[in-house]
């Protein structure tokens, strides 16, 4: 895997409580791993021979955003210049559901304007990712 021209970032609403921020990052990370298994390295072992599953092959900065910033980034992803990027979003609708079935049903009935985005993860060509999120500060 050649990762030198690849980048992943997460942009998360910094006004959210810490637990929701952590949950948002975890959910998006799991989904991104499914969408882009090619960026996950091979399993490794420690010197005692115990296995450690592969992790993403490069850093994933967590950036500070607002719901408006996240929505703007999501909208830009529909432009041809950002074709080929993989994006995963997480919203208030998703966070408020107890089961995946409830989420799927509610999402079918929702319009995009009704969603408050908690975060978006973007992975792909480094230059494109930087054009979308390169000016955002780290979430600290």
Domain ranges of the chain: 6-42+52-133
pLDDT (tens digit per residue) in 74-118: 999 999 999 999 999 999 999 999 999 999 999 999 998 999 999
What is the topology classification, in CATH, of domain 6-42+52-133?
A: Bit1 (3.40.1490)
CA 20 to chain centroid: 14
Which residues contact residue 122 at a Cβ distance below 8 angstroms, ignoring those fewer than 6 apart? 8, 9, 10, 11, 73, 77, 85, 86, 87, 129, 132, 133
Q: So what's the pLDDT on residue 4? A: 79
- The whole-number average pLDDT for the span 59-82 is 95
Q: What's the confidence (pLDDT) of residue 96?
A: 94
Predicted pLDDT of residue 1: 52
Residue 7's pLDDT band (cuts 50, 70, 90): very high
Look at the pTM and tell me if it is higher than 0.75. yes
Is the pLDDT reported for residue 49 higher than 80? yes
């Amino acid at each position: 895997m050649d990762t030198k021209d690849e980048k992943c970032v997460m942009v998360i609403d910094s006004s959210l409580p810490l637990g929701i921020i952590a949950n948002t990052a975890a959910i998006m990370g799991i989904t991104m791993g499914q969408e882009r298994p090619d960026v996950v390295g091979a399993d490794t072992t420690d010197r005692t021979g115990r296995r450690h599953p592969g992790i993403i092959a490069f850093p994933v900065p967590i950036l500070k955003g607002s719901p408006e910033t996240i929505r703007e980034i999501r909208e830009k992803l529909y432009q041809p210049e950002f074709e080929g990027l993989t994006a995963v979003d997480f919203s208030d609708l998703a966070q408020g559901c107890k089961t995946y079935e409830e989420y799927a049903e509610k999402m079918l009935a929702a319009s995009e304007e009704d969603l408050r985005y908690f975060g978006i993860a973007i992975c792909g060509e480094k230059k494109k990712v930087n054009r979308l999120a390169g000016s955002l500060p780290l979430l600290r």
